[in-house]
Amino acid sequence: MKKFLIVSFIASLFFNIYLFSQRPKTSKPTGVIIEEYPFLARRIFLENANDVIINFVPLRQKLREYVAQQDEKIGVYFEYLPTGIGIGVNDREEYFRASLVKVPAVMSAYKLIEEGLISESEPLVLKEHHLDSAYGTLWMRGAGTTLTVGEAIRLTIVESDNTAYEVLNEKVNEILQAEVGEEKNIADVYDYLDIPHDEEGLTQEITPRNYSSILRSLFFSAYLDYEDSNDLLRLMSESVFEEGIALPLLGKAEVAHKFGVHNVEPERLKVHSDCGIVYLPKRPYLICVMISSGDAATAQYMQDISQIVFDYISSVNAGGENE
């Protein structure tokens, strides 16, 4: 038995050495690589690149107390990305996805680009059924308008344009040979990240914790390659929506985020949400806030929660004590 364990250990050691050797190689200096992909995790390229914080008990208590004081149902998930330590408050409760779904949809488009099945320069033509005036301005250009896949990706993420999303979504699902009404593009991303969806591949609701898996996969370049992961996060950092988690952090830290708003009936589908990655130097973290409310005033809750987290992470010493 002892001999077997020794042999197994040696085999495992060599297997891990092999896997490490198969990582993409580059002759570029580490510093150059980090500058080239500023929105990706530094620990992909560099060891000991972040501060280790181990005491999150005070932050957990502050978030729980704040959420408990509000009348609306609020879901929060926080994760300190250097160590993976997370805090959740109602983080396993489901909320309507709204425009948060545009991120996995674009991830699927990028994956097809990587596989050579579509290109960013490929033209898309707007049809009447693509036009959606609920959010964005592309619909005003009317049916027959032509734009590229790359332009549709940018409008979908930066401006959360519904029309751009619809035409891009249709093209990607067509390539994936999805059935009519099937969201195969989104379901494929969910399957990769082990996020639940129904048997028909529909993804109408999601939890703050599960949505965070999408952001984490981009930060660590787990689903897309370095370039596309970084490019998508860069677009998210250019979002026109500043009323949520990013507002209190203006001038303090860059935020790559996506918001979702749905304020029409039925009541159970009303939601205000904002989820993203905060690039506090050496202390990047993920935060996702979802609120069951159609009231725009609930954006204040997002801002308050974002401020609570930022104040703690920026002031606590490496190791866990407040300065």
Task: Give the start-to-end residue ranges of the domains of the chain.
Answer: 41-97+204-323, 99-203
How high is the pLDDT of residue 52?
79
Q: Dump pLDDT digits (tens) for 78-121.
A: 999 999 999 999 999 999 999 999 999 999 999 999 999 999 99
Q: CB of 41 within 8 A of CB of 217?
A: no
User: 99-203: same fold as 41-97+204-323?
Assistant: yes
Lowest mean pLDDT among 134-143, 302-311, 314-323: 314-323
In one-letter notation, the amino acid at residue 75 is: G
Highest-pLDDT range among 4-13, 112-121, 265-274:
112-121
Predicted local confidence at residue 15, as pLDDT: 41
Confidence at residue 48, expressed as pLDDT on a 0 to 100 scale: 63
Residue 251 DSSP one-character state: T
pLDDT value, residue 34: 76
The rounded mean pLDDT for the chain is 88
Residue that the structure tokens 């029409």 belong to: 264
Closest by CA position to 155, among listed 183, 130, 127, 135: 135
What beta strand segments (E) does the chain contain?
74-80, 85-89, 95-96, 123-125, 146-148, 205-206, 254-262, 271-279, 285-291
What is the token pair recorded at 79?
A: 């994760």
CATH of the domain spanning 99-203: 3.40.710.10
Q: 41-97+204-323: which CATH architecture?
A: 3-Layer(aba) Sandwich (3.40)
What are the distances in angstroms from CA 313 to CA 56, 139, 161, 233?
A: 9, 41, 33, 21
